[in-house]
Amino acid sequence: MKHTIIVIGGGPAGLLAAATAAASGASVTLLERMDRPGRKLRICGKGRGNIGNTAPLDEFLAHFGKNFRFLRPALAHFFTKDTIELLHSLNVPTKEERGGRLFPESDSAQDLVDAFVRHARTQGVTIRTGCRVRSISRQGEGFEVGFGSQSLAADRIILTTGGASYPATGSTGDGYELAKSLGHAIVPIAPALIPLVTEGDTASRLQGLSLKNVRVELRVDGKKTGEDMGEMLFTHFGLSGPLILTLSKAAVRAVDQHKKTEILIDLKPALDPAKLDARLLRDLGEHGKMHVENLLRGLMPPKLIPICLEQTRLAGDKAAHQVSAEERKRLRLWLKELRFTVRGYRPLREAIITSGGVDLTEVNPKTMQSRVCPGLFLAGEVLDMDADTGGFNLQAALSSGHLAGLSAATAS
């Protein structure tokens, strides 16, 4: 039987679901509320579109936290190599960068949007823009979808409305209400991959400074809760950049539970305390007449020097040879543990991804079909799944979208 399918939401999950369902013989209409599909995809990876990651399956899944099991069947069915092949067939060759991150060779996320839209159209999908779906109701075995003053009937629905961050892209969380109206439970939503707001003015004084090859630790109530190496950024409100975003989900939870939440930055991760002490001794000895503030230039970016002098209570105009053992110890500790107290996080609208969403226990991972509303399929960020940065989220949207499209078109 040829199914009539309405896909709600034209992000990567919806576009690939629609194309796959149409390629599998269904008659497919995609309804997108914005004036064109893929508005969020277009800004992904700072406009370069980190579309996937070449990590092997188990390593890939480990980036999804506690819900990692759910995605296994979808990834087994459509994974990174399939994304690469599909994009290649759509004349968008890809390249791999640091940490297995996959990008279009053109460095243009817009090329990805154009390719997925072209793919959907070529398979026969009707894409209707400016159609914000407000209701889905059951009509016998099928559904009626309401948008504006219009409605459309279908025997299957694929819900791919995304999360609730960056609402200007069209993802305002409508899908949660639509899923709820069909009987689904929603795991409370919260920002994930979100910059952190810190106490005091240290971060704002360092605004714009980006640190590479540092180790950052998240400490909650005095206990190490997470740690990673890489790059971070100071902003006018606090801390951002890939390392901070990765640790942010646990930090958000800790802040919400009113736990003492700290970020500790190790500016010299390659040197253990003994080696760092030896390095400081050598520098102070070799440049005995140099002012401390000049000597520090060899140890840190210039913007950090006034902060370092203040927090270690070292006089910048002191000669290096006058630095006491106690002062050297303070400097060493500061270099290994530059501390920030987290007092909050930026709002959900600024999150890279929304955590929470449609409860995964109510969705069959082998088909993406709802267990509470047969005929409804779900994929992408509307589901309660979120991962670290690195292309994992877009691949999850594509994999779940592909499986939802295939199942909706073919399952009896």
Ligand X SMILES: Cc1cc2nc3c(=O)[nH]c(=O)nc-3n(C[C@H](O)[C@H](O)[C@H](O)COP(=O)(O)OP(=O)(O)OC[C@H]3O[C@@H](n4cnc5c(N)ncnc54)[C@H](O)[C@@H]3O)c2cc1C
User: Is 39 near ligand X (CB under 6 A)?
Assistant: yes
Is 29 or 367 the residue whose CB approaches ligand X more closely?
Answer: 29
Residue partners of 316: CB distance under 8 A and separation at least 6:
291, 292, 293, 305, 306, 309
Which one of 162-170, 216-224, 231-239, 361-369 is the stretch in contact with ligand X (CB under 6 A)? 162-170
Within residues 110-139, the interface with ligand X by CB under 6 A covers: 131-133
- Alpha carbon separation from 171 to 40, 163, 292, 381 (Å, rounded): 8, 6, 52, 10
CA-nearest of 109, 115, 100 to 52 is 100
User: Is 160 near ligand X (CB under 6 A)?
Assistant: yes
Residue partners of 114: CB distance under 8 A and separation at least 6:
none
Interface pattern 42-81 for ligand X (x via CB under 6 A): -xxx----x-------------------------------
Which one of 31-39, 112-120, 136-144, 360-368 is the stretch in contact with ligand X (CB under 6 A)? 31-39
User: Is 104 near ligand X (CB under 6 A)?
Assistant: no
User: Is 162 near ligand X (CB under 6 A)?
Assistant: yes
Instruction: Give the separation between CA 343 and CA 259, rounded to whole angstroms.
Output: 10
Within residues 7-26, the interface with ligand X by CB under 6 A covers: 8-14
Binding-site size for ligand X (CB under 6 A) equals 39
Instruction: Give the separation between CA 157 and CA 170, rounded to whole angstroms.
Output: 19
User: Is 161 near ligand X (CB under 6 A)?
Assistant: yes
User: Is 155 near ligand X (CB under 6 A)?
Assistant: no
Is 32 or 327 the residue whose CB approaches ligand X more closely?
Answer: 32
Is 148 or 374 the residue whose CB approaches ligand X more closely?
Answer: 148
Instruction: Give the separation between CA 316 and CA 276, rounded to whole angstroms.
Output: 20
Within residues 307-366, the interface with ligand X by CB under 6 A covers: 352-353
Q: For residue 321, what are its two tokens?
A: 């040879």
Which one of 73-81, 89-97, 157-165, 320-328 is the stretch in contact with ligand X (CB under 6 A)? 157-165
φ/ψ of residue 298, rounded to 5: -80, -5
Q: For residue 210, what are its two tokens?
A: 């980006």
Least distance between ligand X and beta carbon 43 (Å): 5
**Where are the alpha helices (H) located in 32-173, listed in sequence order?**
39-43, 57-61, 68-77, 80-89, 109-122
Q: For residue 101, what are its two tokens?
A: 């991150």
- The residues that touch ligand X, with contacts defined as CB under 6 A, are 8-14, 31-34, 37, 39-41, 43-45, 50, 131-133, 160-162, 165-166, 170-171, 174, 352-353, 380-381, 391-394, 397
